[in-house]
């Protein structure tokens, strides 16, 4: 793969998604689209509006502090460290982050520079354990993590369902069974940002899911 040379000296900038202008988030979207295509080549790209809605919604989670550092080459984002600090009763020693570097800008020190920003947040928050993830579709991530001294923890697998091969008869049977319990729940779907009237309930649901994952994987070792 051709390595891209910087048009100007690379710069690291902190992104505040609640106040960032749309053009900055649009550059973030282009970067995330490129990274998604590498890791999930069969999946369609997300829309710009979906990225805007996602980043603008981060501020509603009062129990999580999000810090985002990005590497820029001119007007384009070429790397990002997405750092999350959870303020829960358990796991106060843990910091979760995601680090991505554009494939044409790897092996130039950007990953190390972004990792140092995550470490700075960990030190400020007195978190001694850093948790991140890599993807088998992006072998460079494994290589970088090993060089940085990370050790492999939990391995998970993603399964994708090809809709063209769905058993329609079975699906209809499930739908019929669901009608029997229709009075016990309400099904909702939102194509964009979560509506304000249900934002608190949605945040509570995400909190339950996050807590369950942490407990299942036994991260609370204090």
Residue pair 81/114 in contact by the 8 Å Cβ criterion = yes
What is the tens place of the pLDDT at every residue in 57-70?
Answer: 887 777 889 999 99
- Rg over alpha carbons for the chain, rounded to the nearest Å, is 20
Q: How far is CA 48 from CA 28, 82, 130, in A?
A: 10, 18, 30
pLDDT at site 222: 45
Structural domains counted in the chain: 1
Question: Given this model, what pLDDT does residue 220 score?
Answer: 53
Kindly state whether residue 202 falls inside one of the protein's structural domains: yes
* CATH number of the domain where residue 78 is located: 3.40.630.30
State how far the Cα of 85 lies from the Cα of 57, in Å rounded to an integer: 16
Least confident range of 3-12, 31-40, 91-100, 184-193? 3-12
Q: Is residue 210 part of a domain?
A: yes
Note down the domain range covering 179: 11-216
CB 89 within 8 A of CB 81: no
* pLDDT tens-digit series, residues 9-27: 678 999 998 889 999 999 9
1, part of any domain: no
């Amino acid at each position: 793969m051709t390595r891209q040379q910087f048009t100007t000296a690379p710069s690291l900038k902190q992104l505040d998604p609640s106040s960032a202008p749309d053009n900055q988030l649009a550059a973030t979207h282009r970067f995330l689209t490129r990274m998604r295509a590498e890791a999930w080549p069969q999946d369609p790209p997300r829309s710009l509006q979906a990225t805007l809605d996602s980043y603008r919604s981060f501020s509603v989670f009062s129990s999580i502090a999000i810090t985002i550092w990005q590497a820029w080459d001119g007007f384009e984002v070429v790397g990002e460290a997405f750092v999350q600090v959870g303020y829960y009763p358990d796991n106060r020693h843990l910091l979760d982050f995601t680090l991505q570097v554009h494939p044409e800008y790897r092996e130039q020190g950007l990953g190390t520079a972004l990792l140092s920003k995550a470490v700075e947040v960990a030190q400020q928050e007195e978190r001694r354990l850093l948790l991140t993830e890599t993807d088998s579709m992006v072998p460079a991530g494994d290589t970088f993590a090993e060089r940085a001294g990370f050790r492999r923890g939990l391995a998970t697998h993603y399964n994708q369902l090809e809709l063209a091969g769905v058993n329609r008869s079975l699906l209809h049977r499930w739908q019929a069974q669901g009608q029997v319990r229709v009075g016990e729940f309400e099904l909702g779907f939102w194509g964009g940002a979560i509506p304000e009237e249900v934002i608190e309930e949605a945040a509570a649901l995400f909190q339950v899911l996050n807590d369950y994952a942490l407990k299942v994987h036994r991260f609370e070792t204090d």
